[in-house]
Structure 1
């Protein structure tokens, strides 16, 4: 006989299920493995992108540092003047010296026009008279006004300096009293005159040329320096000359017409070796980082982020070619290999000091020109230009590095779309499950209603049987 409890047990077997939790569990079970796979591929691809970006940045930094080191050291040794009492010489920062050795004769030093007041005053506060002065230079006229507020020798000095005319006023004092001194800038074009106006005869004492017998006394006349460089006469408004020998600053200390002064660079042995050692060390740091990034995974260990990446291999091959690349088309020593720079099995470099020292002793200037020519050319690019060419080729729009970066960026975009599709498929699966369980819930509701009716009927039958 069918009992109430029997029917209830049958229906209850389909109830008590948390359908929302079940849907979440089913969706998660399908979604997580797919997401994990895509995420793992994204992480690997991003690691490659980051590693390539780091390699590109390191390449740029190395190239810039190499150029700065070579350009800053000026592989000419130290500048030497055969007459340091007549001419001093120094390198102009950021420029490469050319045309050395150079022969210089100093015929005349540049000078600034200067003058002193003929009359002396008891002190700087002594009155000088009211009125005005006009200072005339190549830049124009500059007016100086003296009135009751500044009628003193010190006031006149300050008023002249306030014009910013290029003429500087000062006061000198000795046992005879205080006098005004005017000084212009060096060079013949910087001469000046001073004229008085305003009816004050007292201010005529500061006129130059003197007016009516009263005025300033000339001390020096404005003139240019006159030098002869390698047979060419040059004039300059200053005693510091940057344009006579390219890359060299000449300071004139004294004139000695007819006396030759030779400016040259001494043998640059120590600076050349220091720079080559710096290059080898910096190169090895860069190469070591690339070796680690491209290392293959061995014995189950994971490899570097750029393992198997062709762009990285191309970069390393291009860098390795530097040791044998011709840096000059003249002389005995034309490449880094010629002066003792060797490539090790792992791609790093070693400097053979014995071979290098022998080459440097034989031709220090030739090696300096090979490493850093005054003007890089196709036949004589020098080390910095040669590496710059390697970097440019690698990073060119059609270069291996740019191609790899574009490819990896496309993969990143594709993986992003793939993750979006996985999530879209998951949403569709969730929607399907929710519809299925909603239908089941509706069926269970019907079954529970039927269950209630049957239970009532069974109860009636049972009671009828008992009677």
Structure 2
């Protein structure tokens, strides 16, 4: 900022700093308008973000009414979900079946023999971990198709180092250490349940690649991790019967046993558990209610944003904004569209969904329930028919409209780009005003400094002349 270089002007009764400050403030006045405009644009950007979110919700609600599963909702119940729980996908045929659980799925777990001294080094070598399946009689291991994982162990590595390396090897096995009075034990557990996800730990020392040779199983050095180890839990599938027929699963979840139904073994049962799948009539009603609610949320926001209150003489944020009014009309036209696919039902009003004053939708529950009870297929076609053109269902049409609005080159992207451009222009204008103000302040300060210098010089001359006049008067007195 420019400064006054000498006090001459000030000593003549002029408050120069205040004068310059007020002149600069006047030059900055346009910034107040620009900042207000920027705040308004930012508010509009935020508001359109909210509108976009509501339109996305409306699109999702329309999707449920346009999809087959939205009309084929089912409900699944268990006679005792503490033992067996179940879910079913939409469209699953009504059915009932009984489940008995004999055993739950288990992951293989092993424990090494106790190792002493605690914290001592184990010896150099390589650990090999393989995933696969164990056979009990005769005892044998069949590796899976995946490659074994080899882990290098240094001569100075302690058991904690070994466990850390196993956990970092992504070998499908987790390691931990158990310490008791006997020493340290390496505990291993498969990450997955099921008999196909067992594992085998082998050791290779001194360059010997035969994991079954005497040198690799003699309970000395690194081989102490395998010699004397015990299987504390055998890998096993969950075992159950469905209507008396034996089934199994690597996990406690049976996802493919019954078409469309997933049931989960929670506990071993003591009696049959009945699973029932039935049509869920309330699901359609809930989807229609959500559709109406989501539309009303958009309508209310747009109504508030575009209104003008004559009493308070205040306008909404988008009052007079043609693009916002166009969006409002687009959504209303979609709601009021007609289809030829619904038999006796061609528009929402035919099933009891009507527009009220102000644009909100209201549901006549009696009329809607009657339509769903007597003409369920016609109601479904009213919303989800894909016959093309006028034969498209209302939800299908609305989904197409909202998808277009939300597209990467659609209404909301175009509107946001426009507002962001306005914001940038505003920022550029503010920069130019600030630059103009800075230049003005420098000029006006320089002028006052020059005036200050001139007045100082004149004050000095005036004092000299006054002194000379006084001296002359005295000498001639």
TM-score normalised by L of structure 2: 0.56
2:326 maps to: 314
| Structure 1 residue 455: Cα displacement | 0.4
Residue 400, structure 1, aligned to residue 396, structure 2: no
User: Does the C-alpha gap of structure 1 residues 13 and 138 become closer, same or farther in structure 2, counting only changes over 3 Å?
Assistant: closer
1:446 maps to: 457
| Structure 1 residue 67: Cα displacement | 5.0
Contact 2:69/2:91 (<8 A) preserved: no
- Secondary structure in 2 aligned to 1:350? strand
Structure 1 CA distance for aligned equivalents of residues 446 and 287 of structure 2? 75
Residue 357, structure 1, aligned to residue 372, structure 2: no
> Which structure has the larger Rg over C-alpha atoms?
1
Structure 2 CA distance for aligned equivalents of residues 77 and 51 of structure 1? 35
Specify which of 456, 459, 463 is matched with residue 470 of structure 2.
459
Structure 2 CA distance for aligned equivalents of residues 245 and 345 of structure 1? 50
Q: How does 1:76-225 map to 2 (within 5 A)?
A: 76=72, 78=74, 91-92=87-88, 95-97=89-91, 100=93, 134-136=138-140
Contact 1:226/1:236 (<8 A) preserved: yes
| Structure 1 residue 396: Cα displacement | 2.8
Contact 1:51/1:306 (<8 A) preserved: no
1:284 maps to: 296
User: Does the C-alpha gap of structure 1 residues 381 and 225 become closer, same or farther in structure 2, counting only changes over 3 Å?
Assistant: farther
- Secondary structure in 1 aligned to 2:362? strand
| Structure 1 residue 55: Cα displacement | 1.0
Contact 2:57/2:294 (<8 A) preserved: no
Q: How does 1:380-391 map to 2 (within 5 A)?
A: 386-391=397-402
Deviations 1:340-372 (A, max 9, x none): 211223111011234323322221244246546
Structure 1 CA distance for aligned equivalents of residues 464 and 296 of structure 2? 89
Residue 19, structure 1, aligned to residue 13, structure 2: no
Q: How many equivalent residue pairs?
A: 340
Structure 2 CA distance for aligned equivalents of residues 402 and 424 of structure 1? 33
Contact 1:293/1:305 (<8 A) preserved: yes
448-457 or 62-71: which moved more? 62-71
| Structure 1 residue 54: Cα displacement | 1.6
User: Does the C-alpha gap of structure 1 residues 335 and 284 become closer, same or farther in structure 2, counting only changes over 3 Å?
Assistant: same
Structure 1 CA distance for aligned equivalents of residues 76 and 27 of structure 2? 81
User: Does the C-alpha gap of structure 1 residues 282 and 292 become closer, same or farther in structure 2, counting only changes over 3 Å?
Assistant: same
Contact 1:241/1:250 (<8 A) preserved: yes
Structure 1 CA distance for aligned equivalents of residues 412 and 430 of structure 2? 27
Contact 2:352/2:368 (<8 A) preserved: yes
Structure 2 CA distance for aligned equivalents of residues 333 and 63 of structure 1? 22
1:54 maps to: 50
User: Does the C-alpha gap of structure 1 residues 140 and 356 become closer, same or farther in structure 2, counting only changes over 3 Å?
Assistant: closer
Contact 1:242/1:249 (<8 A) preserved: yes
Residue 347, structure 1, aligned to residue 343, structure 2: no
Deviations 1:307-332 (A, max 9, x none): 22233223222222343346783544
| Structure 1 residue 275: Cα displacement | 3.1
| Structure 1 residue 433: Cα displacement | 0.6
Contact 1:76/1:368 (<8 A) preserved: no
- Secondary structure in 1 aligned to 2:315? coil
- Secondary structure in 2 aligned to 1:333? coil
Structure 1 CA distance for aligned equivalents of residues 355 and 139 of structure 2? 71
Contact 1:79/1:89 (<8 A) preserved: no
TM-score normalised by L of structure 1: 0.57
| Structure 1 residue 15: Cα displacement | 1.8
Contact 1:225/1:236 (<8 A) preserved: yes
1:256 maps to: none
Q: How does 1:65-80 map to 2 (within 5 A)?
A: 74-76=70-72, 78=74
1:40 maps to: 36
Deviations 1:65-113 (A, max 9, x none): 66579989954364699xxxxxx99653xx4326x479x999xx9999x
Q: How does 1:319-338 map to 2 (within 5 A)?
A: 319-325=331-337, 329=341, 331-333=343-345, 335-338=347-350
User: Does the C-alpha gap of structure 1 residues 436 and 273 become closer, same or farther in structure 2, counting only changes over 3 Å?
Assistant: same
User: Does the C-alpha gap of structure 1 residues 443 and 140 become closer, same or farther in structure 2, counting only changes over 3 Å?
Assistant: closer
| Structure 1 residue 17: Cα displacement | 1.5
Structure 1 CA distance for aligned equivalents of residues 394 and 74 of structure 2? 21
Structure 1 CA distance for aligned equivalents of residues 22 and 314 of structure 2? 33
